[in-house]
Structure 1
Amino acid sequence: MPPTTSSSSSHQLPSPTMSTAAAATTTTEEPPVLIPSLPDDVALNCLARVPRSHHPTLSLVSKPIRTVLSSTLFFTARSLLHSTEPLLYLSLRSPLSPSLFFCLTSRHENDRILTPVPPIPSAPIGAAYAVVGSTIYVIGGSINDVPSANVWALDCRFNSWQPAPRMRVGREFAAAGAVDGKIYVMGGCVGDTWARSTHWAEVFDPGTGTWEPVASPIEVRDKWMHASAVVDGKVYAMADRGGIVYNANNGEWESVESELDMGWRGRACVVDGVLYCYDYLGKIRGFDVEEKAWRELRGVERGLPRFLCGATMANVGGKLLVVWEMKGKAVEIWCAEIAVEKREGGRELWGEIGWVDKVGFFPNGSIIMHCLAAAV
């Protein structure tokens, strides 16, 4: 007699293979597309060309686009397509902190404002600054009155800080400049020991993450720097007793021309081979390195204050951006964009003001420390 079969055994259970396939069918979803009907690589190519001023609106189109706008892939595409744009960053000292950072952003054409950047983890006083691509390096400075060898890197793509390799010696009020992707730093350290004298000047290679000493003459090692700039591959460093120049292309040291030394006041920047700063009267002047002569920037007299209090400058996309303070019940920060050019065979410097805006205000006692541009 055949064995009795239970009624429950008549119901066939699904095989594991069938279950897995069914689960895969129900859980697998197509990845979201950036732009319908376009391959994602083509869509990314299109999005990377859109000016930054339109990104806030672009981010509202869809979640995939909003996500890609803050991705490393997006910024890499902008760099490869040469679509990066220069952004102005401002360092400010206030009663609240010795080092605050802001980025100048445009909400629309006639509405510019300083937006805060996350604070530097360890805020120094008297640091040097240099820019390589989209990264701003804050170099040395004093912490609790002790010169520091720390270096902090601000990734301007994501406004995030990371510690960079430390220098070999601590420095404050040093000179710094970037040439061919490498950062040269000099001065700001006490040259009373063999080690510090040997490393009075150093060079940092972001690609390898290493600092190396730069040989320097003994007679320059007691100099403390108050300003610096890079012109045609040469790092100009201004000291209280004469300035010096380091030619990064051949490793030679030179003295600063007496005309430049006597006329350089405050923080400066370089546009088309001309070094711009302001004089004791608050007027903008430019030094043509080839002509070895100072000339007043003409054409901007009516659009700017007579005296630019605390003015500092930056080259932002080939334009001269001037930032200054207006003091009252609070410290107002103003900014002007100026297109500059040489006329009369280089014998005259002329500027045309594109815009002038009040971009922020801060508590009394706030001081502009530095401004510089990074490509993002």
Structure 2
Amino acid sequence: MSIQAASNSEKPPQEDNYQPPSSLSSLPDDVVLNCLARVPRSDDLNISCVSKTLRSLVRSPELCRLRSRLPKKSLYLFYHFHQDSKRCHWITLRRGEKMITSTHDYQVEQRSCSLAGLLTSPHFPTFYSSGVSVGSEIYFPDHGWPFPSTKVRVLDTRSGTIRMVPSMKVARWAHKKAMGVVDGKIYVIGGTYGKNQVEVLDPETQTWEFAGEEKVQCNSRFSAPLEDKVYMVDLEHGRISAYSPREGINNVATERLIEHMNCMCVVENVIYACFKRSGLMWFDTKLKVWRRLIDSGGKATLCSFNAGKMAEYEGKLAVFWTQINTNFVEKVDIRCRIIALDRVGEEIRGKIESSGSVATCSYSITLSHCLVVSD
């Protein structure tokens, strides 16, 4: 048998039917356009450099039409003045077509509404209380100080009005309970002195039910949904646990946090947090440890020690903090930093895409919530 014949006979059978993987350009134009419509406009220039076909599709009116039909998302940053508890204030950040202030192509809008007739606690929303968004609505629990409360409010971001929703079955402290959205339903965990059942709100029927017979004890200042679970940071021990509607509550990381956490959120199925000394970090769910977020060069640690609130926006990390305005007495700037994230091997790297002031307010404000909604 010749060498040629031997090499052919030893060829794996699957190679006879092997076909090279299809590229994006080999797909029909309408399929490619639907894919491109979900890519941020800031990446259009990079896409145009790939090929002439993609360049023409990026510039086509059809792509603009498809993008206009997609649901728009806006980021809501809430704050309150220490001397004024009767108004709810927020800043809306959304993708725009032109430069607004120093946040590049993001539009910024400031709004507020009266809480007359709805105010049952000293401040709304409270600094440490949880809040979640479902569609275009944002749900806030009542602070309940000095007593726990069953009340929950909802902000309709389309109309800018706030209304009360049916009360929970169990009174809870807002600054100790965890909240998260799983499969479109809102789960409320802990916030009581002892063990109690988890409650779940169906936004469509506006009804509360107990999630199960299991009673859990949880005092959580920070919580975030990830992979059909609600991850929580315990107030007393600083340990991370997760609640699943199917499995109940389980410890995720047994090691105690050794420093204060400022805020926490989830971006592209990864938990990020800002610590007082270590700055921005992400949680490795496989190793169950916190790891530092480094810069795009893979060398320096990407820090933001003063971050007060942060949230996912268009697959990126939006970080907010206050900074003293040197041009005005007793004024502070609310600053925003947009960070693009990229996983490289076992690391996650961040690149600051924009950074600047989104508003100037009086000195006595507190950032309370940061949430993303669908317009």
The equivalent residue for 1:371 is: 370
Could you say what secondary structure the match of 2:131 adopts?
strand
Q: Hey, what's the Cα distance between the residues in 1 that align with 2:249 and 2:314?
A: 30
C-alpha contact (below 8 Å) 2:265/2:271 kept by paired residues? yes
Deviation at 1:281, TM superposition (A): 2.1
Distance 1:104 1:254 in 2: 36
Residue deviations 1:174-204 (CA, integer Å, cap 9, x gap) = 110101110001111233xxxxx544x2111
User: 2-side partners of 1:337 and 1:268: how far apart?
Assistant: 15
CA distance change for structure 1 residues 208 and 261 in 2, over 3 Å: closer, same or farther? Answer: farther
Change (3 A) 1:354 1:224: same
Q: 1:278: which partner in 2?
A: 274
The answer (yes or no) to whether the contact 2:279–2:303 under 8 Å persists in 1 is: yes
Listed one character per residue, the Cα deviations across residues 193-223 of structure 1 (whole Å, up to 9, x for unaligned) are: xxxx544x211111121111134655x42x3
Match of 2:178 among 161, 166, 175: 175
Structure-1 residue corresponding to 2:221: 226
Q: Verify the 8 A CA contact 1:87 1:103 in the aligned structure 2.
A: no
Structure 1 residues 87, 260: closer, same or farther in 2, change over 3 A? farther
Instruction: Please point out which of 184, 188, 204 is paired with 2:187.
Output: 184
Tell me the residue number matched to 1:109.
99
What's the offset of the Cα at 1:263? 7.1
CA contact (8 A) 1:184 1:202 kept: yes
Counterpart Cα distance in 1 of 2:257 and 2:357: 32
- Note the aligned Cα RMSD (angstroms): 3.2
Counting aligned pairs with the same residue, the percent is 28
Say which one has the larger Rg: 1
Query: What residue in structure 1 maps to residue 312 of structure 2?
Result: 315
CA distance in 2: counterparts of 1:304 and 1:152, whole angstroms: 39
Structure 1 window deviating more from structure 2 (238-247 vs 225-234): it is: 238-247
Partner of 1:97: 84
Q: Is the 8 A contact 2:276 2:306 kept in 1?
A: no
- Per the alignment, residue 70 of structure 1 pairs with none
Kept in 1: contact 2:275–2:305 (CA 8 A)? no
Amino acid at match of 2:202: D
Does the CA contact (< 8 Å) of 1:313 and 1:371 recur in 2? yes
Alignment of 1:63-74 (within 5 A): none
Q: Is the contact between residue 331 and residue 364 of structure 1 (CA under 8 Å) also seen in structure 2?
A: yes
Determine whether 1:83 maps to 2:79: no
Is residue 295–residue 301 contact of structure 2 (8 Å, CA) maintained in 1?
Answer: no
How far apart, CA to CA, are the structure 2 residues paired with 1:303 and 1:150?
A: 45
Higher helix share goes to which structure? 1
- Residues 131 and 374, structure 1, Cα contact 8 Å, conserved in 2: yes
Aligned partners of 2:247, 2:114: CA distance in 1, in Å?
A: 36
Contact 2:125 2:369 in 1 (8 A): no
Corresponding residue for residue 339 of structure 1: 340
Partner SS, residue 243 of structure 2: strand
The alpha-carbon distance between structure 1 residues 85 and 263, as it changes in their structure 2 partners (threshold 3 A), is: farther
CA distance in 2, matches of 1:297, 1:189: 34
**Does structure 2 conserve the Cα–Cα contact (< 8 Å) formed by 1:101 and 1:119?**
no
- Structure 2 Cα separation of the partners of residues 305 and 243 of structure 1: 23
Indicate how the Cα distance of structure 1 residues 188 and 314 shifts in structure 2: closer, same or farther if over 3 A, else same.
Answer: same
Contact 1:231 1:273 in 2 (8 A): yes
Offset of residue 311 of structure 1: 2.3
Name stretches of at least 5 consecutive residues in structure 1 with no aligned partner.
Answer: 1-48, 54-77, 192-196
Residue in 1 that maps onto 2:139: 137
The letter of the residue matching 2:254 is S
Counterpart for residue 128 of structure 1: 130
**Structure 2 counterpart of 1:354:** 353
Distance in 2, matches of 1:283 and 1:261, equals: 14
CA distance in 2, matches of 1:229, 1:210: 22
CA 1:310 to 1:349, structure 2 compared with 1: closer, same or farther past 3 Å? closer
Identify, as 1 or 2, the structure richer in strand. Answer: 2
Q: Render the CA deviation track for 1:237-256: whole Å, top value 9, x for unaligned.
A: 221223431113x2422113
Change in CA separation of 1:94 and 1:335 when aligned onto 2, cut-off 3 Å: same
Measured in 2, the distance between the counterparts of 1:331 and 1:137 equals 28
Assess if the C-alpha contact under 8 Å between 1:244 and 1:253 holds in 2.
yes
CA 317–261 in structure 1, closer or farther in 2 if over 3 Å, else same? same
Residue range with higher mean Cα deviation, 161-170 or 207-216? 207-216
TM-score, normalization: structure 1? 0.68
Q: CA deviation at 1:291?
A: 4.3
Whole-angstrom distance in 2 between the partners of 1:280 and 1:305: 13
Q: Distance in 2 between matches of 1:133 and 1:258?
A: 34
Distance 1:185-1:307 versus aligned 2 partners, 3 A rule: same
Is the CA contact (8 Å cut-off) linking 1:341 and 1:350 kept in structure 2?
yes
CA distance in 2 between counterparts of 1:369 and 1:314 reads 12
Q: Aligned partners of 1:237 and 1:355: how far apart in 2? A: 30
Q: Secondary structure at the match of 1:227?
A: strand
Contact 2:302-2:350 within 8 A present in 1 as well: no
